[in-house]
Structure formats: C-alpha cells, structure tokens
Amino acid sequence: MILNLCKLTIDRTTNIETLQATATMLREQLTELNKQVISSNFMSGSQGFLPEIEIESFRQAAISSMWFMVENDLITSRLIAGPERREGF
C-alpha cells in the first residue's frame, strides 16, 4: 500500500512537470509565431503562411493533470460559479 502511494505521488509529480514543460514549449511557439506575424507585417495583407503549432503534447499533458486542476479548484469553480465569475474563462 505504501509503495502504491509513493508511485502515485511520483506519477502525479511527473504529470505536473510534463504539463509545465509542454506549457513552456507552447508559450515559446506562440511567442515565435507572434514575432513572425509582426515582422511579416501580416496585418497589411502580405501573403505568407503561419507555421503549425504543436499542441497535441500540451493537450495530453493537460488531460493527465486534470486531477490537479480539479483538486486545486482551478477549473471547477469557474464552471460551477455564476456568470460573474466566468469572466476570463
């Protein structure tokens, strides 16, 4: 039983570390995309393409860490609360 609790704790820590790493990677990709859009003067109608963002690993990490978000009331309070708390969701 103690071994199972230790394994669960290790697994949960790994899930959160993976979420942090993938969120950082996604943020860096979005920052680079923003720089490319600004430098290409995208808003003036110039032709070009936007690179694809790799979001699947972030999605999987978020799913694996959903327990953390629920336990720390990071999601449920915004979903359950009235409209006044839903701002910014």
68: its two tokens = 């953390």
CA separation for the pair 85, 75 (Å, rounded)? 11
pLDDT in tens, 22-56: 999 999 999 988 888 787 765 555 566 667 788 89
Give the model's pLDDT for residue 39.
78
Domain boundaries defined on the chain: 14-42+53-85
pLDDT in tens, 41-50: 655 555 666 6
| Share in percent of the chain as helix, strand, coil (round to 5) | 70, 0, 30
pLDDT of 77 > 70? The answer is: no
Average pLDDT of the chain is 79
